[in-house]
Amino acid sequence: MSAESTEQHEFREYVRRWLAENAPQPPPFRLPITAIEVMHENQRDYLQAWQAKCYEAGLVGCDYPEAYGGGGHEGFQRIANQEMGRARTPFLINIVGLNMAAPTILVHGTEEQKRRFLPGALSGEEIWCQGFSEPGAGSDMANQQTLAVPRGDDWVVNGHKVWTSLGHFAKWMILIARTSKDHKYDGLTYFLCPIADHPGVTVRPLVKITGESGFNEVLFEDVVVPDSHRLDDVGKGWTVAMTTLTYERGAAESAGGSSGESEAPLDALVRLARESRRGGGKASDDPVTRDAIVQRAIASEGLRWSARRARVPALTDHPMRLPLQQKLVFSELAQRDARLGVEIAGARSTLYKLDPRAPDAGRWPLSYMNSYGHTIAAGTNEIQRNILGERVLGLPKSK
Ligand SMILES: Cc1cc2nc3c(=O)[nH]c(=O)nc-3n(C[C@H](O)[C@H](O)[C@H](O)COP(=O)(O)OP(=O)(O)OC[C@H]3O[C@@H](n4cnc5c(N)ncnc54)[C@H](O)[C@@H]3O)c2cc1C
């Protein structure tokens, strides 16, 4: 059922060949599981160099217009992403830049903003972070208290953002701030805010249960943002943020990237079961473990067919059903995988990442703890279920 054109097929062959020849050697230090746990400069440098190399080779931003640093070939990014996933190459570090900032700027930016910001986001030269969440504004995202007040040709920002992934390495932030207290939604405006070494900005790392510190608090004290860095109109911030969330939650193709896991989760679980002991034999011979792995395989197969179904218009009853499910399904599956890995490894799961005897270098307990973040980040799964219920199933609106 391949509807691939000759040009697309040739591109796929090119990407496959290029990745086989250029996949980087593993670094001499540990890489985190995903981009939102990158905390050391050596990890950043290695991943930034890899993104730059992929970009130079035409594997990132393939669908973006050439005028903005892209490849100018619609439909190619999906192919590049699939091949990067298949080759299990490292993830691209600039996930906020690629998956949120770039597509939002492409939709809402001025010509000047697109030319200024898109090439650096695609190449990874300029790392982005997202400043949406605040201590009192998570699920209730419109409750933003960070204030932006006009002053001449600038805005002066004061406030407090939290859970800002990659904030410690970011040059720019996509920022929502309140520009009017009289309207909840229409009082919000969207900015492209300088972060690194910018006067008045303080970035404070937050440490997670895993001991990693991939996210931060970001404090703004009289931070000056030029009006030329406002994205779209004053008061349109909510609408612009909805564009960002559509991409963040996977409802539209990103500008590039792969999961970066060196082994497919199902393969890793099967291998772990073969290497682990259960009831005097191998865990892979234990009927309960076998059943759990088969259930996982069935889920994988279901997802594979759903992805194919999504590409056949006659088989899609509601255009947003499958895209909106993505974030929900994948984050919960990752959580299930990690739990199963911990169960299979058994008592050895208590050996953590720095213990040389830990199975798979401590991957399973680390993934297990990290997997909870993914059901919260990008809007919690409860909120995502509300959206699916209301927009796809047509259920009455929740309060
Ligand atoms: C790993 C990670 C990375 C993150 N990175 C970023 C980032 O880079 N930038 C950024 O801006 N934010 C980031 N976040 C923040 C994330 O978007 C918020 O944590 C999320 O939106 C939830 O907000 P909250 O934590 O304030 O929880 P709350 O909104 O206080 O929710 C608490 C609980 O109540 C439930 N709940 C709330 N309202 C409803 C409702 N209407 N119906 C049903 N249940 C409801 C929620 O599901 C949740 O279980 C990140 C979070 C994590 C975990």
Pair (295, 228) in one structural domain? no
Tell me the Cα Rg of the chain.
22
Cβ atoms of 91 and 259 within 8 Å: the answer is yes
**Does the residue 398 lie in any domain?**
no
- Determine the average pLDDT of the residues in 24-37: 91
Locate the ligand 1 atom nearest the alpha carbon of residue 129 and give its number.
8
**pLDDT digits 0-9 by tens, 46-56:** 999 999 999 99
What are the angstrom distances between the C-alpha of 146 and each of 105, 109, 129, 143, 237? Answer: 21, 22, 16, 9, 13
Pair (80, 185) in one structural domain? no
- State the pLDDT at residue 1: 45
Pair (274, 376) in one structural domain? yes
> What's the CA gap between 201 and 3, in Å, rounded?
49
Backbone angles phi, psi at 30, to 5 degrees: -80, 135
Q: Report how far apart the first and last C-alpha atoms of the chain are (Å, whole number).
A: 43
Cβ atoms of 90 and 32 within 8 Å: the answer is no
Place of tokens 């290029």: 18
**Does the residue 11 lie in any domain?**
yes
- Which residue's alpha carbon is nearest to atom 41 within ligand 1? 383
Long-range contacts of the stretch 264-267 (C-beta < 8 A, 24+): 264/88, 265/296, 265/334, 265/337, 266/293, 266/296, 266/297, 266/300, 266/337
> What's the CA gap between 118 and 194, in Å, rounded?
15
Pair (179, 113) in one structural domain? no
pTM listed for this prediction: 0.94
Cβ atoms of 26 and 42 within 8 Å: the answer is no
**pLDDT digits 0-9 by tens, 271-321:** 999 999 998 999 999 999 999 999 999 998 998 888 888 778 888 788 888
Residue-by-residue DSSP string for 163-191: S-TTTTT-SEEEEEEES-SS-SSTTEEEE
| Bridge partners for 147 per DSSP | 158, 178
Locate the ligand 1 atom nearest the alpha carbon of residue 161 and give its number.
11
Q: Which of 63, 93, 126 is the last residue of a domain?
A: 126
Q: Is the model's pLDDT at 30 over the cut of 60?
A: yes
> What's the CA gap between 357 and 348, in Å, rounded?
8
- The closest alpha carbon to 344, from 269, 267, 261, 268, belongs to 269
- Positive or negative: CA dihedral 271, 276, 282, 285: negative
Locate the ligand 1 atom nearest the alpha carbon of residue 374 and give its number.
1
- Which residue's alpha carbon is nearest to atom 13 within ligand 1? 163
**pLDDT digits 0-9 by tens, 100-152:** 999 999 999 999 999 999 999 999 999 999 999 999 999 999 999 999 999 99
pLDDT-derived band at 159 (thresholds 50, 70, 90) equals: very high
Q: How far is the CA of 378 from the centre of ligand 1 (A)?
A: 7
- Determine the average pLDDT of the residues in 11-21: 98
Pair (110, 27) in one structural domain? yes
H/E segment holding residue 159: strand 154-162
CATH of the domain at 61: 1.10.540.10
- State the pLDDT at residue 324: 82
CATH of the domain at 235: 2.40.110.10
**Does the residue 272 lie in any domain?**
yes
Place of tokens 């947003």: 320
DSSP 249: T
**pLDDT digits 0-9 by tens, 211-224:** 999 899 999 999 99
What are the angstrom distances between the C-alpha of 185 and each of 141, 144, 386? Answer: 9, 9, 19
Calculate ∠ Cα 167-50-99, nearest 5°.
50
Pocket (CB within 6 angstroms of ligand 1): 36, 129-133, 138-139, 163-165, 215, 373, 376-377, 379-380, 382-383, 386, 398
Pair (206, 230) in one structural domain? yes
H/E segment holding residue 222: strand 215-226
Q: How far is the CA of 239 from the centre of ligand 1 (A)?
A: 19
Q: How far is the CA of 156 from the centre of ligand 1 (A)?
A: 27
Locate 168 and state its tokens: 């410690």
Pair (241, 166) in one structural domain? yes
Buried (b) or exposed (e) across 215-245, using 16+ Cβ within 10 A?
A: bbbbbbeebebeeebbbbebebbbebbebbb
Q: Which of 126, 156, 184 is the last residue of a domain?
A: 126
Domain range spanning residue 172?
A: 129-248
Torsion from C-alpha of 161, 167, 171, 173, nearest 10 degrees:
-30
Cβ atoms of 328 and 388 within 8 Å: the answer is yes
- State the pLDDT at residue 11: 98
- Mean pLDDT of all residues belonging to the chain: 93
**Does the residue 69 lie in any domain?**
yes
56 catalytic? Reply is: no
Q: How far is the CA of 376 from the centre of ligand 1 (A)?
A: 5
- Positive or negative: CA dihedral 282, 284, 285, 290: positive
* Cβ-based burial of 208 (10 A; exposed 0-12, middle 13-18, buried ≥19): middle
Count structural domains, the chain: 3
